[in-house]
Amino acid sequence: MAEKKVMLVCAAGMSTSLLVSKMQKAAKEQGEDVDIFATAASDADNKLESEQPDILMLGPQVSYMLP
């Protein structure tokens, strides 16, 4: 099981895929055990409940969800 779990949220769950790949590569290079994944804003609440991430990152296009 990963030390940390990071969830990225964007409008459709696809625009962050490149960022997820780069973050996974950087974590691996630094020897970090991190589970990083992206999801669509429409499924964010479900993923928060089921995955319980340690870190939640919002894409600029969904920053309205911050509150």
Q: What are the residue numbers of the active site?
A: 10
* Chain centroid, CA 15 distance in Å: 12
Q: Please, are residues 13 and 61 in contact by the beta-carbon 8 Å criterion?
A: no
* Amino acid in position 64: Y
Q: Please, are residues 53 and 6 in contact by the beta-carbon 8 Å criterion?
A: yes
